[in-house]
Amino acid sequence: MQLEELRTEGGKVKLPSFEYLRARSMEEAWALHSEAGGDALYLSGGHSVVPSMALRLQAPSRLIDISQIAELRGVSVAEGALRIGAMTRHAEVLADPLIAHHAPLLSQAAPHVAHPAIRNRGTIGGNLALADPASEFPAAVLALRAEIEANGPDGRRLIAADDFFLDLYETALAPGELLTAIHVPLPPESRLFGFDEIARRRGDYAMVGVAAQADVAGGVIAGASVTLFSVGFTPVRARAAEQALDGAPLSPESIARAQAALAQDLDPPDDPGFPPERRLQLARVLLGRVLSRMEPVK
């Protein structure tokens, strides 16, 4: 058997055939997507698309390379928000001073995202569009109360992170719509942030993770934002825990109330070998750890 046939017939780790096209503009990308009748995927870093195709989890007839589109690039501050272009690679998120200053949860999350070589190629837009429930960035954008900028033939829209992650690998993006950027509202200097996860080894998927931010005004917490990941089918806003914190001083007592409230927020799936009770317990422990170490941006 020739190598080319082996790749098609036998080799399960080689990609099935597809057509590859480069889009130079958003308009061109939409047109190429619609021309394929929806049987197409956008390709940026490719670090989810390529292995999923190699594993034959999906086989689109066309890949549209969007990495050359200018609107997807750059990190900037405008109109009271930090705009992070979708093509910003994880390694750039890790190193970017504007992100460290205005969206520190993303900087703190980045070292936990996979391994260094993956971070050199994977992009934050691709990561959010995939919406892996064990991934760090979705939980961080949720805690940051960010908005996702999407552009499609019908125009540009901003989707609140709360409305973006719908279900397992399912987002509010319409077919053919491009995730172009993340908008993070600029935080006050005094805002407190915390992020951590529990994983067996560096780079492994987290067993549970927490991203949190809160303002303290007049000695009490206002507007606490607490999210968890790797606890269900989407990243989860822990609203009962947030309510337990709001209006109280950040203290061992309020943290204990937030930990207790997590039972109302989480309903972890029954994973063989990892019962929901254990995941909830880990979430409580980690939440206590993160909340007691909340810090403003240095």
Partner 1 sequence: MKHLLSTTVNGEQVQEAVSPRTSLADFLREDMGLTGTHLGCEMGACGACLVLMDGAPVHACLVLAVQAEGCTVETIEGLTETGAAADLQARFHDRNALQCGYCTNGMLMSAQALLAANPDPSRDEIRDALSGNYCRCTGYEAIVDAIAATASDRAGRSETKTEAAQ
Task: Looking at residues 14 to 43 of the shown chain, list those that interact with partner 1 (rule: CB under 8 A).
Answer: 14-20, 43
Task: Looking at residues 40 to 59 of the shown chain, list those that interact with partner 1 (rule: CB under 8 A).
Answer: 43, 46-47, 50-51, 54-55
Residue among 137 and 165 whose Cβ is closer to partner 1: 137
Q: How far is the CB of 241 from partner 1 (least distance, A)?
A: 31
Task: Looking at residues 188 to 227 of the shown chain, list those that interact with partner 1 (rule: CB under 8 A).
Answer: 201-203
Residue among 67 and 243 whose Cβ is closer to partner 1: 67
Query: Are the beta carbons of 99 and 89 closer than 8 angstroms?
Result: no
Structure-block tokens of residue 236: 């989860």
Size of the site for partner 1 (CB under 8 A): 32
Quick check: helix, strand or coil at residue 291?
helix
Q: How far is the CB of 63 from partner 1 (least distance, A)?
A: 7
Q: Which of 180, 139, 178, 179 is nearest to 162 (CA)?
A: 139
Q: How far is the CB of 255 from partner 1 (least distance, A)?
A: 29
CA distance 262 to 280: 8
Task: Looking at residues 49 to 108 of the shown chain, list those that interact with partner 1 (rule: CB under 8 A).
Answer: 50-51, 54-55, 63, 65, 67, 91
Query: Which of 1, 9, 13, 78 is the binder for partner 1 (CB under 8 A)?
Result: 13
Segment (H or E) for 261: helix 252-265
Own/partner pairs, 104-108, CB within 8 angstroms, 24+ separation: 104/193, 104/297, 105/140, 105/143, 105/144, 105/193, 105/195, 105/211, 105/213, 106/137, 106/140, 106/141, 106/144, 106/184, 108/140, 108/193, 108/195
Chain residues that interact with partner 1, rule: CB under 8 A: 3, 7, 13-20, 43, 46-47, 50-51, 54-55, 63, 65, 67, 91, 111, 114-118, 120-121, 201-203
